[in-house]
Structure 1
Amino acid sequence: MYTINCSGRLIDLSIPRVMGIVNATPDSFYDGGKLKSDLDLLNQVSKMLTDGATFIDIGGYSSRPDGKDISIEEELNRVIPVVDLLVREFKNLNLSLDSFRASVIDHAIQHGVNMVNDISAGLLDQNVINTVARHQVPYIMMHMRGTPQTMKSMTDYSHLITDINLYFSERIATARAAGINDVIIDPGYGFAKTIDQNFHLLKNQKILNAHEVPVLSGISRKSMIYKTLESSASQALNGTSALHMICLQQGASILRVHDVKEANEVIQLYHMLETN
């Protein structure tokens, strides 16, 4: 199976891992604006690590559909103080930055980030790939069309799975050519995909394993769950756990989640299922 290198620490992905989401944004779809102080932030991250998160993913730009575009300066002002605080308080932290802007990524890595999570796979900023390669940190590349502001109108595919496979073939080749060693792919649930397309993708996610890189699944509390159940993001934990099991059965190596304890319980049950 796969390993990735975070600041010289080899992380074994033969047993799936959990990435905890920390939004330094006022408008994220589920938990935007909940973190009001440094203490709130430290308590949340501490709980996630205690509950078994291997990675913490910090985001300062809300990529929800129709999310507000912000300047590079504002994104930096949101994420760099968070990075500094977490690096200071938690030793040997595997800290990911959710950003698609090379200058933000470059600054954050210099402040201690050791993983990059890019919703655009380098297509929204042509300098991202070379920036990640220069720093030699693991790179998560997601499938998306357009931007968070336009993606809802870009759901017309010739063949969804084939198109996504071609996208990753090209983006992985670009990353490899630049010298990025650790590449992780994210199918991009909810990004330029209808609810039906999201479920079709989930049903066929295993096909992405042909790229021979780890797959990250990010479905936590997304609208594909709560709209199907006619509920809300705050009521979508049970549905999230149900679909996390499917993600694992389809070959996911990392679950990106809001609820770390519950995701790790799903992984424990999945592991028992697979080893007996």
Structure 2
Amino acid sequence: MNVFPTLSFRGKLADAADFPLVMGILNATPDSFYIGSRVQTEAEVARRANQIVEEGGRIIDIGAFSTRPGGVQVSQEEEMERLRLALKTVRREQPETLVSVDTFRPEVARMSVEEFGADLINDVSEGGITGIANVPLEEETGDYPTMFRMVARLGVPYILMSVQPTLRKMLIGFAKEVQQLHELGVKDIIIDPGYGFGKTLEQNYQLLSEAEKLTVLGLPILVGVSRKSMIYKQTGGDATTALNGTTVVHTISLMKGASILRVHDVKEAVETVELVGKMRAEGEKKREEMHCESKDKDNR
């Protein structure tokens, strides 16, 4: 089953005809795990933003805080400073392209939306459950996580990523969190199983093997596996040699219901979406032909 959702971006609906989408990664950091994604100067940001769109990316995901293991925990002020440079440049270069901001900090989300009109918030902390060190980010007050309250106030689509190690725990967590978001009035929710976050190598592949079960939630599914260690720890090498493995996992993910691929290599991901889509279209055409033939026989 493939979830082809309807989402509202800037008041415009994206529906089945628009999916699957490819989201290109733009890291305004000096230390993200894949060196090819790092950009820091205005010229580098502009070049990367234009490359993502030219290669077929529909969303630019901007991050300014590396969540890789051992990453430096920069201050909120430093994260905002990096994002202001990146967002200003991306909005100038690609004003019509959807922009996602990868942050777990509610005030960073607010700044990104209110000052630069960011279209989505991509939160890797599952609403504040965990940060890069797998510890609570803050003392929560009230019935709802601070980030949930913030995205409700901002009125933008929200990517909810799970840090749970198993599908069962993930579904339980998602059910509770999606309910909370709905209670706050958040309508456009995208779920991300969080490959590589809070999971062993074996748990990542166990999740991949049964990822189609996430479609029971009826929400769009984002998959972020691009060049991650779950690939190169299995095949050998490092992030620089993990493109082929990434494409394989992208193909499996699309077959199991992914609606959005978050990637470093946009051209290759767009081609993967196109080829899987062509296979699906021809399969559907063949099934329709067989159905018509069956009906003709019944009417004779």
TM-score of the two chains, using structure 1 as the length reference: 0.92
* Amino acid in structure 2 at the alignment position of 1:142: M
**Residue 150 of structure 1 aligns with which residue?**
none
Residues 26, 32 of structure 1: 8 Å contact kept:
no
Distance in structure 2 (CA, Å) of the matches to 1:265 and 1:170: 36
**Residue 172 of structure 1 aligns with which residue?**
178
User: Larger deviation: 131-140 or 120-129?
Assistant: 120-129
Distance in structure 1 (CA, Å) of the matches to 2:167 and 2:183: 24
2:161 to 117, 123, 142: 142
Quote the offset at 1:238 in angstroms: 0.6
Distance in structure 2 (CA, Å) of the matches to 1:264 and 1:183: 23
Q: Which has the higher helix share?
A: 2
CA RMSD of aligned residues (A): 1.4
**Residue 291 of structure 2 aligns with which residue?**
none
Distance in structure 2 (CA, Å) of the matches to 1:33 and 1:46: 13
Gaps of 5+ in 2: 129-136, 139-144, 283-300
**Residue 189 of structure 2 aligns with which residue?**
183
* Amino acid in structure 1 at the alignment position of 2:244: N
* Amino acid in structure 2 at the alignment position of 1:114: D
1:224 to 220, 230, 235: 230
**Residue 102 of structure 1 aligns with which residue?**
106
Distance in structure 1 (CA, Å) of the matches to 2:102 and 2:22: 15
Matched, 1:112 2:117: yes
Matched, 1:41 2:45: yes
1:250 to 256, 275, 284: 256
Residues 208, 253 of structure 2: 8 Å contact kept:
yes
2:77 to 73, 86, 110: 73
Secondary structure in structure 2 of the residue aligned to 1:57:
strand
Q: 1:61 to 1:268 in 2, by over 3 A?
A: same
Matched, 1:122 2:127: yes
Distance in structure 2 (CA, Å) of the matches to 1:98 and 1:139: 10
Residues 83, 112 of structure 1: 8 Å contact kept:
no
Gaps of 5+ in 1: 146-156
Secondary structure in structure 1 of the residue aligned to 2:251:
helix
* Amino acid in structure 2 at the alignment position of 1:12: D
1:208 to 207, 210, 214: 214
* Amino acid in structure 2 at the alignment position of 1:10: L
Quote the offset at 1:132 in angstroms: 0.8
Distance in structure 1 (CA, Å) of the matches to 2:230 and 2:239: 10
**Residue 55 of structure 1 aligns with which residue?**
59
Q: Larger radius of gyration, structure 1 or 2?
A: 2
Deviations 1:197-249 (A, max 9, x none): 10110111111101111000000000010111111100111110011000001
User: Larger deviation: 30-39 or 192-201?
Assistant: 30-39
Quote the offset at 1:89 in angstroms: 2.3
Distance in structure 2 (CA, Å) of the matches to 1:48 and 1:184: 21
**Residue 149 of structure 1 aligns with which residue?**
none
**Residue 152 of structure 1 aligns with which residue?**
none
Distance in structure 2 (CA, Å) of the matches to 1:38 and 1:13: 35
Residues 26, 33 of structure 1: 8 Å contact kept:
no
Q: 1:74 to 1:258 in 2, by over 3 A?
A: same
2:27 to 23, 48, 68: 23
Deviations 1:106-156 (A, max 9, x none): 0010122111000112124632111111121110000116xxxxxxxxxxx
Secondary structure in structure 1 of the residue aligned to 2:195:
coil
Distance in structure 1 (CA, Å) of the matches to 2:74 and 2:40: 20
